[in-house]
Amino acid sequence: FLRLSTLFDGKLIYLLKDKLTKEKVLDLMIDDLEKYHYVESDFRDNVYKREDLYSTAIGGGIAIPHPIKYAATQSKVSFARLNEPIKWDDKNMINVIKLRN
């Protein structure tokens, strides 16, 4: 049984004002998951492999990127809200990202 409150860490919540790219946002979020040792060393590669297979945009300006295979040392949710929507794929502009390790 996993308590919902254990999934969130204030260090992994971002309110981003700058105009960024999909890759810069993902790298920022992944950097901190790595920094705090919440993910295994292949996490970044597995997130990008998943995005290469199929976009994680779900509509409504939201994307839920995640690794192609489990790569967590401790389950956490990283959340970003962007002032400026970014191009996520050929069809979607995103301003809310929920990255789950």
Q: Assess contact for 7 and 76: CB atoms under 8 A.
A: yes
> Nearest 5°: phi and psi at 69?
-140, 155
CA–CA dist 94, 82 (Å, integer): 8
Please give the domain boundaries of the chain with CATH numbers for all domains: 9-85 (3.40.930.10)
- For residue range 12-68, list pLDDT tens digits in order: 999 999 989 999 999 999 999 999 999 999 999 999 999 999 999 999 999 999 999
Q: Assess contact for 46 and 71: CB atoms under 8 A.
A: yes
Least confident segment among 22-26, 72-76, 85-89: 72-76
CA–CA dist 78, 40 (Å, integer): 15
- For residue range 24-35, list pLDDT tens digits in order: 999 999 999 999
Task: Tell me how many degrees the CA angle 94-22-101 measures, rounded to the nearest 5.
Answer: 90
Give the pLDDT score at 48. 97
pTM: predicted TM-score of the whole model, two decimal places: 0.91
CA–CA dist 98, 66 (Å, integer): 9
